Every structure is written in structure tokens, then in C-alpha cells.
Amino acid sequence: MHTDKIHLDSPDVGELEKKYLIRCIDSTYVSTHGPFVSEFEENFSEILGCQNAVSVQSGTAGLHIALHELGVGPGDEVIVPVLTFVATVNAVKYVGATPIFVDVDLLTWNMNPDKVRDRISPKTKAIIPVHLYGSPCNMTELAAIAQQYELYILEDATESLFSKFNGRFTGTFGDFGVFSFNGNKLITTGGGGMIIGTAPLRLEHVKFLVNQARDEKKGYYHSEIGYNLRMTNLEASLGLAQIERFEEFLSKKRIFRDIYVEHLENIDEIQLQQDYDKSETEWWFNSILIDTDRTGKNIPEIQSELFKKGIPTRRIFMPIIEFPPYFEKNKDRYSYAYRIYERGLNLPSSTLNSESCIKYSVQELVKLL
């Protein structure tokens, strides 16, 4: 057993975060009105090199309001990967549209552009690429498809902050890009999310809608149906501290990735999640496929044995069509997603870990297999 606690995806918060939170509390601006939110939005925009950003309650809220702003609704279809966190798909249902699932690539675990082409219909209005666990989708091909069929792209970049494809940050390719600051993400505000986009007027309207569509020049006057999806100043103050530390976090994540690659890339029973050649991936999670036929152990058994050694792990997301609201009988269409789920595992990746924790984790995994 390792002497230090090993963390799967715990948030990395400390003295700087306390300092910013106290500053926010002392200012009395703890709710949605105050200076910290706009400062966080500006700092985030500056780092990503985009003109504007709109903060929201969560990544899910960001996906929801972005679809609403794009006019996606009842009668429309939205193409989504079958292997993702359920929030991606729930947002489609929130606006009354129909999610159309596609299988993923076996190496990158991201939506397969060829499968996307196969599922386009006259009702298709948008595509939601999900950069799973930080690995960027092939945005060149997906953008070409969207242009050919006049479709919107809403990037679910909730897990891929600071990853790049062809020199550009994920989230900057689509009509909108959405990020998450949930407790287990690279940067956290406890909850919260951020929306960026290519059309300033659309972003301005989103900012209006998430504040209950209130026209502040007229007092409490609401010209449209709005939403209460704003980030609080408490959350934003935490984000300001976290964003000061992003280079520290990225440095540790890169070291962890190098350790996993060094120990696992030549193990026949293990295949690391890959990325495309044009990618510069910041791995939110380091994830693997295990040849369970060769090891003679299934994923729950492997998890149990690792847990006894103090090593936490997590299953890969279950294919969405396994859930009652999205159930489909035809699973053969999604064979790669099922293979990844049945053999996949997320490994300790929190920046709270030391290099020693990661080395111990990977060495014990190799011994076990």
C-alpha cells in the first residue's frame, strides 16, 4: 500500500483558492451580481484567445442554452456520440430535439466522422462532437461535414480544456464551445461552466438569456423567456485562483501521461486511449483498454484488486443507449463503444497526486495483469 492517498479525480484547491474566496466574501458580492464573474470571463477569454465568454451554472447548462440559441428544437435531430457522459444527450432532449447516436473510433474513442455522414437526414440540424477525456475529435472532417450539409457544430469541450487540434484549442471550432468546471475537472469552480462562440451577437444574447432575459436598463423588465443559469461570484472567485494555476496543473498532467505511456505502451494486454496526429492533448483522464480475454479478469475484478492496494479507478462511460430514456435494441451499430466500455478503465489522474503515486499505481496495474 502506498503511504500517500491516491486520488482518482479529486479537485486540487489550497491556500490561493482560500485567499480568493475570502476576498469575495469580504466584498459581499457572493451571488450573481458583482465583479468576480466578469473578471473570470475576461481571464478565460484571454487565455483561449477568444473575444468573449459567458459563464453559466454548469457545462450541462451551457450545452442546453447553446442549443436553444441555435434554434434547435422539436422536429430537429442532433448527432451525438453514443459514448459520452449523459449530460451531452440530456441537453438535446431539454430543447425537445432527438439525439441520433453514432459509434466511435476504437483508438481515440471519439465520434467517427464516417458514421456521422451515415446518419445525416433532412431533419439533422447539429452535430455535438465530444472530446472524450481530453482527446480532441477530428474537427477538420467534422467541420467539412457540417459545412457540406449546413449543420451547426456545438463542441462539448467539457473534458478537454487546453487541448488542441491542428494548433487550435478545442471549443473554438464550432458555432459554440462549452466547458465544464465541475469539481473533478482540470480547473474547478465547484460547479459552473463557460460558453464561447464565433458570433458575438449570439453570445451577447446567451448572456441576456441566462440572466432571466432581464433588460437592466428597464429595471425588472423581461422581454423574452429567460433562464436562471448564471455563475455566482463565489464560484468565479474560485475560478480566478484556479486559472492562475493552470500551467502548474498542465505540467503535472503531462508528467503523469509520460509515466503511464512509459510503463504501458509496450504491454500487450493494455492499449492507452490515443489521439490524432494533429492533436496536442491535455489528458483530463488517463484511460486504457484491457484485453480481458488474455488477463482472465473482467474490469470489476481488476478494479476490486486495485482498490485493495489503495488505487481508485472508474469505469468508462456506459453507452447511452443502455439508459431507459434512450434505449435501443440494435447494439451492433455501436460495437466499438461497447468494446471500450466493457474493457476500459480510467486511472488516477488528479493533480493532487505525486509522481510517486502515479508510478505506484501503474506498476501495481502491470503486476496485476
From 218, 244, 270, the end of a domain falls on 244
Residue 43: inside a domain: yes
**Burial of 185 per CB tally in 10 Å (0-12, 13-18, 19+):** buried
Are residue 254 and residue 194 in the same domain, yes or no?
no
Are residue 238 and residue 303 in the same domain, yes or no?
no
Are residue 117 and residue 137 in the same domain, yes or no?
yes
Reduced to 3 states (helix: H, G, I; strand: E, B; else coil), residue 270 is: strand
Helix (DSSP H) and strand (DSSP E) numbers for the chain: 13, 16
Question: Which residues constitute the domain of residue 231?
Answer: 15-102+109-244
Are residue 237 and residue 265 in the same domain, yes or no?
no
Within a 10 A sphere around the Cβ of 223, how many other Cβ atoms?
A: 10
Contact of 273 with 133, CB cutoff 8 Å: yes
Residue 61: inside a domain: yes
Are residue 342 and residue 363 in the same domain, yes or no?
yes
CA distance 159 to 136: 10
Residue 9: inside a domain: no
Write the CA distances from 210 to 68, 187, 218, 288, 334, integer angstroms.
11, 22, 17, 38, 36
Give the per-residue pLDDT at 308.
97
Residue type, 138: N
> Directed axis angle between helix 86-94 and helix 59-69, to 10°?
40
Q: What are phi and psi of 100, to 5 degrees?
A: -115, 120
Residue 272: inside a domain: yes
Are residue 281 and residue 222 in the same domain, yes or no?
no
From 244, 277, 302, the end of a domain falls on 244
Residue 203: inside a domain: yes
Are residue 218 and residue 355 in the same domain, yes or no?
no
From 244, 272, 300, the end of a domain falls on 244
pTM as predicted: 0.96
Instruction: Write the CATH number for 303.
Output: 3.90.1150.10
Residue 8: inside a domain: no
Are residue 62 and residue 206 in the same domain, yes or no?
yes
CA distance 355 to 13: 18
Residue 7: inside a domain: no
Please list the pLDDT of the chain residue by residue as tens digits (369 residues).
788 999 999 999 999 999 999 999 999 999 988 899 999 999 999 999 998 999 999 999 999 999 999 999 999 999 999 999 999 999 999 999 999 999 999 999 999 999 999 999 999 999 999 999 999 999 999 999 999 999 999 999 999 999 999 999 999 999 999 999 999 999 999 999 999 999 999 999 999 999 999 988 888 999 999 999 999 999 999 999 999 999 999 999 999 999 999 999 999 999 999 999 999 999 999 999 999 999 999 999 999 999 999 999 999 999 999 999 999 998 999 999 999 999 999 999 999 999 999 999 999 999 998
Are residue 51 and residue 196 in the same domain, yes or no?
yes
Instruction: Write the CATH number for 180.
Output: 3.40.640.10
Are residue 254 and residue 231 in the same domain, yes or no?
no
Are residue 194 and residue 266 in the same domain, yes or no?
no
Give the per-residue pLDDT at 324.
97
Residue 179: inside a domain: yes
Asked whether the CA dihedral 22, 352, 346, 137 is positive or negative, the reply is: positive
- Our count of domains for the chain comes to 2
In terms of DSSP bridges, do strands 168-169 and 344-347 run parallel, antiparallel, or are they unpaired? unpaired
Are residue 288 and residue 204 in the same domain, yes or no?
no
